[in-house]
Amino acid sequence: MNTAELVELGQQLRVDSVRAAAAAGSGHPTSSMSAADLMAVLLANHFRSDFERPEHPGNDRFILSKGHASPLLYAAYKAVGAIDDAELLTFRKLGSRLEGHPTPRRLPWVETATGSLGQGLPVGVGIALSGKRLDHTGYRVWVLCGDSEMAEGSVWEAAEHAGHEHLDNLTAIVDVNRLGQRGPTRHGHDLDAYARRFQAFGWHTVEIDGHDVDAIDRAYGEARSTTGQPTAIIARTLKGKGVAAVEDREGQHGKPLPEAEEAIAELGGPRDLRVRVHEPPTARMLHAVHGDGRIELPRFDKAEHEKGVATRDAYGQALTALGSARGDVVALDGEVGDSTRAELFAKEHPDRYFECYIAEQQMVGAAVGLASRGWVPYAATFASFLTRAHDFIRMAAVSGSGINLVGSHAGVAIGEDGPSQMGLEDLAMMRSVYGSTVLYPCDANQTARLVAEMAGLEGIRYLRTSRGAGPVIYGPDEEFPVGGSKVLRSSERDRLTIVAAGVTVHEALKAADALRDEGVQVRVIDLYSVKPVDRPTLRQAAEETGCLLTVEDHHEEGGIGDAVLDAFTDGRPVPRLVRLAVRTMPGSASPDESLHAAGIDAESIAAAGRLLVEEAVVR
């Protein structure tokens, strides 16, 4: 399009943004109006996509990181003919695909859910990494950011990562409209303040007037021709551009224009321009396939591993085997690969390994980006550090993203490192995520099976692994279906059921053996699937033994005890339920001392069991 046509298209996008918000009675038209010219030029002259084939591997990828400006995105979809005017006016209404903030669950052209600011660029980095290192199809990634979200640390994690990886297929467009929700942003219209920061991380920067369509056009061309560096286009804009009553005025954020019809007239009235987006280059997705796809998982023999095997070791070995069988599996780690054992995958499959350093938000964001391109990511760090990325995990669920997360060094069982390294909240965090699967294996063979099982699941999958070596109690051919459990001790005379997972399974077995020697039969259930939980087995145990005792290396809120309680929320009577968990702030000690101090070791379990069956003996 020429200059005059681009100006008209920008005005159309503004008008349609105002119309959509007016029809909804809510929304963010002023935030959309500031970026309308940026969107118009991108769409008409630089973006390459087949909107009828959103899965086309050569399509450029666009992320609206300032997701509240969704009216602008939907106006753009109308301009390319992806939606019609009638659908545009369903914005924010029940059942509409055009939600207040865009999600890929609703619209096939949306790469990732946005709205929680600071996440678009990290996910964009993941997509750009896929294009640069894996797909090799030549697509570009364009991310439209707001200036307010530049205050988020996750943006700068992404900026540093993109610079380090020389992602010249990535362009960040920063809409510097000066105004946030409650007033001016930190840097206002100081474009150089943003440029200096991006330059420090190795980016090429271009500062422009964001309402000069010719300058925007040149900037996009410069970004496309820049090699060896990502590009940040920093555009000075005005919030509410084009309508005097709201232009560059405070107090107009997040609300429809007060006189919409007058505003539309001031903008020149509705238009019906149609944009023919450039076709993407011919390309096909190349996910290399190794072997015949059959997985040869590691096998851990009880006799050969008398000293036990750490489940984190089994994770690394199993993931490496999975990567050999499936060319679509990729691994990410937060610079602790020697501890999580992701380094085993890195040595065998270096082309599909992504070192994210100590930047957990970027790690999860990159995993979401890679998943959007069809890869199956496994991202690992210490369980305690994943809490930093909870908002990214939550938003990944909103996106419907399929990612595998692995938290190692869980619980007080890690010992001497102390409470800063102990993951004691992770089960609660991950269980609360919509549609998540939460797994906590207790031995090496179980871990290996579950690592492979995770690859075929939907949604967010979480595997909790342990630092120390534990006994091998299962054979290598044992099956562990998600949603199941294993009954490890059982008799017709059981008077109590102990429910455990991970390290506490071994403590529970010791306690059960000690109680049996005292004449008290106890059932033991290995609840390796914490979500979904094995309701039938738990209900049967409650009916047959009358009491459940849960024991977990986790805080009592939201962990295994609560997962077990969920099995009895269908209206049936809740059985007698006693929970052992970490209730005090732990300190540095040996693993055995830490378990004992928390009251979750075999001695503590046996003592609780005696009390529950009224077998306590006064000595």
Residues marked active site are found at: 360
Order across the sheet with 496-500: list the strands.
486-489, 522-526, 496-500, 547-555, 576-582
| Cα-only R_g, the chain | 28
Neighbouring-strand partners of residue 463: 406, 439
Helix, coil or strand: residue 562: helix
Closest CA to 501 of 608, 425, 429, 600: 600
Helix, coil or strand: residue 141: strand
Contacts of 563 (CB under 8 A, 6+ apart): 427, 431, 438, 527, 530, 531, 533
Order across the sheet with 529-531: list the strands.
353-355, 329-333, 376-382, 403-408, 460-464, 437-439, 529-531
DSSP 385: G
DSSP letter for each residue of 427-477: HHHHHTSTT-EEE---SHHHHHHHHHHHTT--SEEEEE--SSEE---S-TT
**Lookup: tokens for 152:** 């988020």
Count of beta carbons in the 10 Å neighbourhood of residue 268:
14
Contact in structure between 512 and 563 (CB atoms under 8 Å): no
Q: What are phi and psi of 129, to 5 degrees?
A: -60, -45
How many CA atoms are closer than 13 Å to the CA of 611, on its beta-carbon side? 8
**Lookup: tokens for 213:** 């369509």
**Lookup: tokens for 34:** 């500031």
CA distance 150 to 7: 28
Residue whose token pair is 């210490």: 382
Q: Are strands 329-333 and 353-355 parallel, antiparallel or unpaired?
A: parallel
Return left, alpha or beta for 361; rule: phi > 0 is left, psi -120 to 50 is alpha, else beta: alpha
Return left, alpha or beta for 276; rule: phi > 0 is left, psi -120 to 50 is alpha, else beta: beta
CA distance 331 to 375: 10
Residue whose token pair is 């008209």: 8
DSSP 179: B
Q: Is the peptide bond before 573 cis (omega within 30 degrees of 0)?
A: no
DSSP 251: T
Neighbouring-strand partners of residue 142: 62, 171
Closest CA to 241 of 209, 270, 272, 211: 211
CA distance 227 to 535: 56
Q: Kindly provide the b/e burial profile for residues 544-568, where b requires at least 16 CB atoms within 10 angstroms of the residue's own CB.
A: ebebbbbbbbbbbebbbbbbbbbbb
Helical (H) or strand (E) element with 86:
helix 85-88
Count of beta carbons in the 10 Å neighbourhood of residue 231:
24
**Lookup: tokens for 183:** 């007033």
